[in-house]
Amino acid sequence: MSGDGVYRRGFRFLRARRRVVARLAAWSVLESGQTFLTGYALARAVDAGFLAGRATVGLGWLGAAAVAVVAGAYGTGRVYAAVAALVEPLRDRLVRDVVDRGVREADRGALSRLTQQVEIARDTFAGVVMVSRSFVFTAAGALVGLFSLAPLLLLVVGPPLVAGVALFALTLRPLTRRQEAFLVADEELASQLGAVCPGLRDITAAGAEEQVAAAVRERIEAEQRAACALARWGVLRVVALTVGGQLPIVLLLATGPWLLAHGVTAGALVGALAYVGQSLLPALQNLIHGLGTSGSRLAVVLHRLSPGTPDTATPGTPGTPGTPEPSPASRSVPAPAPTPPTGSAPPAAVTLSHVTFAYGPASEPVIEDLDLTVPHGTHLAIVGPSGIGKSTLTALMAGLLEPTGGRVRVRRAPGTRPGEHHRVLIPQEAYVYTGTLAENLGHLRPDPVPEAELLASADAVGLTALLDRLGGPTAEVAPATLSAGERQLIALARAHLAYTPLVLLDEATCHLDPAAEARAERAFARRGGTLVVVAHRVSSALRADRVLVMDGRRTAYGSHAELLDRSPLYRDLVGAWSGASQPSLALGDPDGVDAVAGPGLPRDGRHVVAYGPVGQMETAGDLRDGGPVGGE
82 φ, ψ (degrees, to nearest 5):
-70, -40
DSSP letters spanning 114-135: IIIIHHHHHHHHHHHHHHHHHH
pLDDT of residue 8: 66
β-pairing, 502-506 with 435-436?
A: unpaired
Poorest-confidence range of 85-94, 98-107, 531-540, 574-583?
98-107
Q: How far apart (Å, rounded) are the C-alpha atoms in residues 58 and 63?
A: 9
β-pairing, 348-357 with 502-506?
A: unpaired
Q: How many CA atoms lie within 13 A of 376 on its CB side?
A: 25
Q: How far apart (Å, rounded) are the C-alpha atoms in residues 291 and 226?
A: 19
pLDDT of residue 182: 79
Give 550 or 327, the one with higher predicted confidence.
550
pLDDT of residue 265: 92
Model pLDDT for residues 72-119, shown as the tens digit of each residue: 778 777 777 777 777 777 666 666 665 555 444 444 444 444 445 566
Cβ-based neighbour number of residue 623 at 10 Å = 26
Q: How far apart (Å, rounded) are the C-alpha atoms in residues 614 and 223?
A: 57
Element at 148 (helix H, strand E): helix 118-149
State the pLDDT confidence band at 410, using cuts at 50, 70 and 90: confident
Tell which residue, 431, 421, 410, has the closest CA to residue 498: 421
State the pLDDT confidence band at 10, using cuts at 50, 70 and 90: low
Cβ-based neighbour number of residue 553 at 10 Å = 10
How far does CA 451 lie from the centroid of its chain? 28
Percent of the chain past pLDDT 90, that is, above it, reads: 8
Q: How far apart (Å, rounded) are the C-alpha atoms in residues 121 and 244?
A: 28
Element at 228 (helix H, strand E): helix 209-241
pLDDT of residue 312: 39
Percent of the chain past pLDDT 70, that is, above it, reads: 71
Where are the chain's structural domains? Answer: 3-305, 429-499, 581-632
Q: Is 462 left (phi over 0), alpha (psi -120 to 50) or beta?
A: left
Q: Is the pLDDT of residue 254 over 80?
A: yes
Tell which residue, 510, 543, 204, 153, has the closest CA to residue 381: 543
* AA identity, residue 9: R
Residues 6+ apart with CB under 8 A from 461: 489, 492, 493, 496, 519, 520, 523
Cβ-based neighbour number of residue 154 at 10 Å = 15
Model pLDDT for residues 184-228, shown as the tens digit of each residue: 788 788 877 877 877 776 677 667 788 888 888 888 988 888 888
Q: How far apart (Å, rounded) are the C-alpha atoms in residues 137 and 261?
A: 31
pLDDT of residue 298: 61
For helices 296-305 and 118-149, angle between their N-to-C axes, nearest 10 degrees: 140
Q: How far apart (Å, rounded) are the C-alpha atoms in residues 157 and 141?
A: 14
Domain topology for 429-499: Rossmann fold (3.40.50)
Tell which residue, 523, 565, 513, 564, has the closest CA to residue 541: 564
Asked if residue 502 lies in contact with residue 350, where contact means CB atoms within 8 angstroms, the answer is yes
Q: How far apart (Å, rounded) are the C-alpha atoms in residues 558 and 563?
A: 6
DSSP designation for 109: T
Q: How far apart (Å, rounded) are the C-alpha atoms in residues 346 and 34?
A: 82
Burial 251-277 (b: 16+ CB within 10 A, else e): bbeebbeebeeeebbebbbbbbbbbbb
Give 567 or 586, the one with higher predicted confidence.
567
Count of all residues that appear for the chain in the document: 632
Asked if residue 533 lies in contact with residue 384, where contact means CB atoms within 8 angstroms, the answer is no
pLDDT of residue 107: 46
β-pairing, 476-477 with 435-436?
A: antiparallel
Asked if residue 39 lies in contact with residue 142, where contact means CB atoms within 8 angstroms, the answer is yes
Give 381 or 627, the one with higher predicted confidence.
381
Q: How far apart (Å, rounded) are the C-alpha atoms in residues 425 and 398?
A: 6
DSSP letters spanning 231-291: HHHHHHHHHHHIIIIIHHHHHHHHTHHHHHHTT--HHHHHHHHHIIIIIIHHHHHHHHHII
Asked if residue 44 lies in contact with residue 65, where contact means CB atoms within 8 angstroms, the answer is no
Poorest-confidence range of 230-234, 438-442, 620-624?
620-624
What is the C-alpha radius of gyration for the chain, rounded to an integer number of angstroms? 37
Q: How far apart (Å, rounded) are the C-alpha atoms in residues 317 and 323?
A: 8
Asked if residue 160 lies in contact with residue 333, where contact means CB atoms within 8 angstroms, the answer is no
Model pLDDT for residues 279-326, shown as the tens digit of each residue: 888 888 888 776 666 555 565 555 555 554 444 333 333 333 333 333
* AA identity, residue 494: R
Give 551 or 151, the one with higher predicted confidence.
151
pLDDT of residue 7: 56
**Summary mean pLDDT of the chain:** 74
Q: Is the pLDDT of residue 173 over 60?
A: yes
Tell which residue, 22, 11, 24, 16, has the closest CA to residue 134: 24
DSSP designation for 450: P
Handedness of CA 136, 139, 143, 144 (dihedral sign): positive
Q: How far apart (Å, rounded) are the C-alpha atoms in residues 60 and 43?
A: 12
pLDDT of residue 569: 85
Q: How far apart (Å, rounded) are the C-alpha atoms in residues 548 and 395?
A: 16
Prediction pTM value = 0.42
Q: Tell me which CATH code domain 3-305 carries.
A: 1.20.1560.10
Poorest-confidence range of 138-142, 244-248, 411-415, 557-561?
411-415
Asked if residue 488 lies in contact with residue 461, where contact means CB atoms within 8 angstroms, the answer is no
Max mean pLDDT among 16-25, 173-182, 289-298, 561-570 falls in 561-570
DSSP letters spanning 593-622: --EE--TT-TTTTT-EEE-SSTT-EE--TT
Q: Is the pLDDT of residue 620 over 70?
A: no
Cα angle for residues 232, 238, 241 (degrees, 5° grid): 150
